[in-house]
Structure 1
Amino acid sequence: MWKPIASSVPGASHIKYGKLCQDYSNFCTVEDVIIGAVADGAGSAKYSQIGAELSVQTTLLYLKTWIEEYNEKNLQHAISKELAKEIFYGVYFKVKENLKEKAEYEKYTIHELACTLLAFIATPYWIAAMQIGDGFIVIRPISSNYKLLFKPDKGEYVNETNFVTSQNAQLEMKIDVISNKIKFICASTDGLERLAINLQNWEPFKGFFKPFEDGVAIAENLVQEKKDVEKLLISEYFNDHSDDDKTLLLCYYEELISEKTDTSKPYVKSNFSQQEIDKEIPGDFITVSFISHVFAGCLFRLFSKQQGILVLIFLVIILISLVLISLITFNKVLRWFFKKNISRYKILHPSLEGKTLKKRLKNIYQIREVIAWTFGTALFGFCLGCFTAELLSYH
């Protein structure tokens, strides 16, 4: 199954001057087929953000309808390039028709809705894609490196490109079909080109794409992952490299157990529960720590009313045990936190490695969440135990 995320955020210059985000991205799925599209509204076009959204939504609807009506039952075989041209020319004409209708209804000119457009249809076995204007689509076939599908369309002058509304858009449209098992797809507008692509040889930077692929691959909550991606896109590091709007459409294909299993051999049911499979998540340590602190809080409150050297020693042992339990829990949560976030943090600081990166994480990257989870839970448990003991002694 596909794990997709679509994120578009306004650039620093747009925020500074109160402009709307002119990028738009979205996707839809039909069984094992994913359809994605991104668009970047022209900065000189007054209503380009409307044009970008309308172009993407029209594209998705057109391609979704085509997939649902496609007679071929076996989508494991790639479509021909001739068929891909027929499909994407159909997309282009439909998008332009809808833009024209929108312009006439709202009393705009169609050029006020100008935008670029990148779109694709992908199965686990092939991808067909199109591009009008700049931006990029990068894929990673299984057991292979990242590959740029099309060189971004740049005009004679800076920031010049073709748009869907341009007279020569159909002639300049790039279309291709890649027949290969696809593991990862990333589509973006031009706001991230300098960060993601080597503009000298047009090779994708692995250091840019790998953390995003890993992040989506391990993500259990795609809504939260989308928020994390958007935080990165509006971060100081990204804005220092580009003040333009930024878009990332990320799609990772995760094979289901039935797809990974060799059907020639009998299927053996796993003896591991989902909790055991996800054992890296330290919820069990937090629970044990909480219960231990509740129990210790009860004992501490009850025995603190007693006198004698043995009672004092016993109370000291309780406190030392609590500190050790908290430290062990803190260490487990911290290790899990590093595993979850370290690849994403490398996007911002690709030169950092090993202990240096961990040290930087400890100092500045949401370490307060780990502290709050560990010691907050411990303190709450201890106080709850003391309060419970007080109630018991009162009655």
Structure 2
Amino acid sequence: MATRKNQTVCRLNESARALDKALRHAGVSSADKESFLNWAISSLWSTFKDERMNQRIMIENEVRQLGLRFPNGTVKKEYSYSFQLPVNKIDVIGLSGIDELGLTLEMGKPGEFFLIGKPQKSGDFTLKLRYTTVEGEPESELNIPIAFNPSPRDLWRNIPTDKDIQYYKEDSDTAYLKVEAGADGTPRKDVVAASQRGRSHAQEGKARDDHFSLFHCEASDWYIIAVADGAGSAKYSRKGSEVACKTVVNHCKDLLVDNPDFEEAIRSFNAAPTDTGKRSILTNMVHEIVLKGAKKAHDRINEVANGEEGLKPKDFATTLMFAICKKYDFGWFIASFWVGDGAMCLFDEKNKTAKLLGTPDEGEFSGQTRFLTMPEIFRTADVYNRLRMAIVPDFTALFLMSDGISDPMFETDKNLNDYAKWEEFYNNLKNGFPDDEIGGVDLSDDNEAAKDQLLGWLDFWSPGNHDDRTIAILY
């Protein structure tokens, strides 16, 4: 240690002697030596600082000339933008202002940067790129403007429906029917349903027009499921949809709770499906239960309308779809009725099938449909085409939905007959829409939370599709 110290002292002494020699050779006297050294050091330091500052300015200009601009984004929608910086000349410290916006700055390969995240605020903002250039120089900044547009869904108002209006209806509704396992422990299908007022109605504080009704009889094991979509142009369609659903469920319930003749007709038909006599007997019974249920709903709406001065049945216009279902040892018997738009489908993921239980109605003009309240619905034999009857081994789910769901999910009637589209729909239902922060629905046995999950799922975003949304699922 002492030897190294002595060596250092020797080198310093040698340097001092060399400096004295150089000063004498230059003619600097001993009296001027200190003044000259002070002047030289000060002058060189000033020149050094100027050169360093000039170097910093040159690098700042180079960064500015990159013309760095961040494109606009949308609130609550994934944002990602990559850009390059000359990291061989600058040391990036960060990008100020991004945390409060919900963004982060990440680095890739040398010189590559990514601004990513899901913006949480709308408006015009200025981000500051902070970096260093030359060692010892102050931190440099570059202001970069960025703007985020509001999320389209945030532009919609949600005005509660006035509870004092005639035929008031809650803005949303849910239901869950838990059906206990059979005597042998085999799980039985449950039913979940949800209905949500559409954004177009919420924007103006108007009531929800859709409705649903569910029923399961423990004694007979019959399921009855109904969904109706009140016409937006009809003043009291919200009441029409309610009357339609409740009427058909009550009618079918009265005829299904204890009906051994109907049960025997179903079993006989299954045993001999080509027997026209047995088919005819069963068909007539289905007409008595299902078709008469629809007709009774039609008549009941007329009664409600006639009981209000100045109103007509068309003021209560509504679509209607409903199904009666029961599982036997040989499979499921399903009978249904459908008038209007929307969709009713038996979906079987195992066998890759999707069977529509009817045909959506199309009106004379785009966006129109047919309604249960139209007098001609029950005046011709065409009404029988609205009935469906089937026996299937099993299925994944029976879906009944208003067009507030079927339109954005399927877009065309052709797609309604495409199994791949139904599979896509089913996956969206289970998994949700991550880009829209909409969660999925857990369609597992004994999950009452499914009704709230389903209501939340109905809030999915689809540009131009803001009608009421209602769905019932037997699964």
TM-score, with length taken from structure 1 = 0.58
The answer as to 2:341 corresponding to 1:134 is: yes
Please give the alpha-carbon distance, in whole angstroms, between the structure 2 residues aligned to 1:241 and 1:226: 26
Q: Which amino acid aligns with 1:137?
A: M
Please give the alpha-carbon distance, in whole angstroms, between the structure 1 residues aligned to 2:362 and 2:306: 29
- CA deviation map 1:183-217 (0-9, x unaligned): 31000111122333362353252111245479453
Change (3 A) 1:110 1:102: same
Match for 1:227 among 442, 452, 465? 452
Please give the alpha-carbon distance, in whole angstroms, between the structure 2 residues aligned to 1:244 and 1:90: 30
In structure 2, what is the equivalent of residue 194 of structure 1? 407
The answer as to 2:307 corresponding to 1:110 is: no
Shift of 1:143: 3.4
Change (3 A) 1:29 1:70: same
In structure 2, what is the equivalent of residue 217 of structure 1? 443
Q: Which amino acid aligns with 1:160?
A: Q
Contact in 2 for aligned 1:139/1:182 (Cα 8 Å)? no
SS in structure 2 at match of 1:51: helix
Shift of 1:33: 1.6
SS in structure 2 at match of 1:54: helix
SS in structure 1 at match of 2:208: coil
Contact in 2 for aligned 1:42/1:48 (Cα 8 Å)? yes
SS in structure 2 at match of 1:147: strand
Contact in 1 for aligned 2:215/2:225 (Cα 8 Å)? yes
Contact in 2 for aligned 1:8/1:24 (Cα 8 Å)? yes
SS in structure 2 at match of 1:217: coil
In structure 2, what is the equivalent of residue 37 of structure 1? 226
Q: Which amino acid aligns with 2:424?
A: G
Contact in 2 for aligned 1:127/1:182 (Cα 8 Å)? no
- CA deviation map 1:64-90 (0-9, x unaligned): 111024223456666833432332221
Contact in 1 for aligned 2:222/2:257 (Cα 8 Å)? no
Contact in 1 for aligned 2:443/2:450 (Cα 8 Å)? no
In structure 1, what is the equivalent of residue 252 of structure 2? 63
Which has more helix, going by share of residues? 1
In structure 1, what is the equivalent of residue 463 of structure 2? 240
Which has more strand, going by share of residues? 2
Structure 1: gaps (5+ residues):
253-395
Q: Which amino acid aligns with 1:88?
A: V
In structure 1, what is the equivalent of residue 200 of structure 2? 13
SS in structure 1 at match of 2:260: coil
Contact in 1 for aligned 2:291/2:387 (Cα 8 Å)? no
Shift of 1:57: 0.4
Q: Which amino acid aligns with 1:146?
A: A
Please give the alpha-carbon distance, in whole angstroms, between the structure 2 residues aligned to 1:46 and 1:182: 41
In structure 1, what is the equivalent of residue 355 of structure 2? 147
SS in structure 1 at match of 2:366: coil
Q: Which amino acid aligns with 1:19?
A: K
Please give the alpha-carbon distance, in whole angstroms, between the structure 2 residues aligned to 1:240 and 1:219: 33
Q: Which amino acid aligns with 1:225?
A: A
TM-score, with length taken from structure 2 = 0.49
Please give the alpha-carbon distance, in whole angstroms, between the structure 2 residues aligned to 1:198 and 1:158: 13
Please give the alpha-carbon distance, in whole angstroms, between the structure 2 residues aligned to 1:148 and 1:209: 15
Q: Which amino acid aligns with 1:98?
A: R
Q: Which amino acid aligns with 1:217?
A: L
Q: Which amino acid aligns with 2:444?
A: I
Aligned residues: percent identity?
A: 25
Q: Which amino acid aligns with 1:21?
A: R
Please give the alpha-carbon distance, in whole angstroms, between the structure 1 residues aligned to 2:474 and 2:199: 26
Match for 1:182 among 394, 415, 420? 394
Contact in 2 for aligned 1:123/1:182 (Cα 8 Å)? no
Structure ranking higher on relative contact order (CA contacts 8 Å, 6+ apart): 1
Please give the alpha-carbon distance, in whole angstroms, between the structure 1 residues aligned to 2:189 and 2:416: 27
Please give the alpha-carbon distance, in whole angstroms, between the structure 1 residues aligned to 2:293 and 2:471: 21
Larger Rg: 2
SS in structure 2 at match of 1:131: strand
Shift of 1:40: 0.6
- CA deviation map 1:126-179 (0-9, x unaligned): 210110111110112473222222221111201211111112212454111111
